Amino acid sequence: MRDDFTTKTKDIMAKRVGFTCSNPECQMLTVGPNSDENKNTSIGVAAHITAASKKGPRYDENLSSKERQGITNGVWLCQSCSVLIDRDTGKFSIELLKKWRDNAEKKASERLNTQLGKGAMFVDNKDMESIKPNGYYEKEFNGQKVKYFLDGKFLHVEHEQAAGIIAYYVMDEAGNIVEHKWPFPLEQYELIIQPDLILKVVPEILTNGLRKETVYMKWGKVAVIIRNSQKQLVHFHVEKGFTINHVEKKIWINPPEFN
The pLDDT tens digits of the residues spanning 82-104 come to 999 999 999 999 999 999 999 88
Distance CA 176, CA 255 (A): 16
Task: Assess whether pLDDT exceeds 80 at residue 6.
Answer: yes
* 171-215 pLDDT, tens digit each: 777 667 778 898 999 999 999 998 889 999 999 999 888 999 999
Stronger pLDDT, 135 or 63, i.e. the higher one: 63
Confidence label for 117 from pLDDT (cuts 50, 70 and 90): very low
Quote the percentage of the chain above a pLDDT of 70.
84
Q: How far is CA 108 from CA 77, 90, 122, 124, 203, in A?
A: 14, 27, 13, 11, 39
User: 112 to each of 59, 166, 180, 244, how far by Cα in Å?
Assistant: 34, 19, 16, 17
Report the C-alpha gap between 193 and 184 in whole angstroms: 21
Q: What is the mean pLDDT of residues 244-251?
A: 87
Contact 115, 171 (CB under 8 A): yes
List the Cα angle 131/135/137 in 5-degree steps: 45
Q: Any idea of the CA torsion for 9, 13, 16, 17, to the nearest 10 degrees?
A: -170
- What's the predicted TM-score (pTM) here? 0.51
Rounded CA-CA distance 233/129 in Å is 39
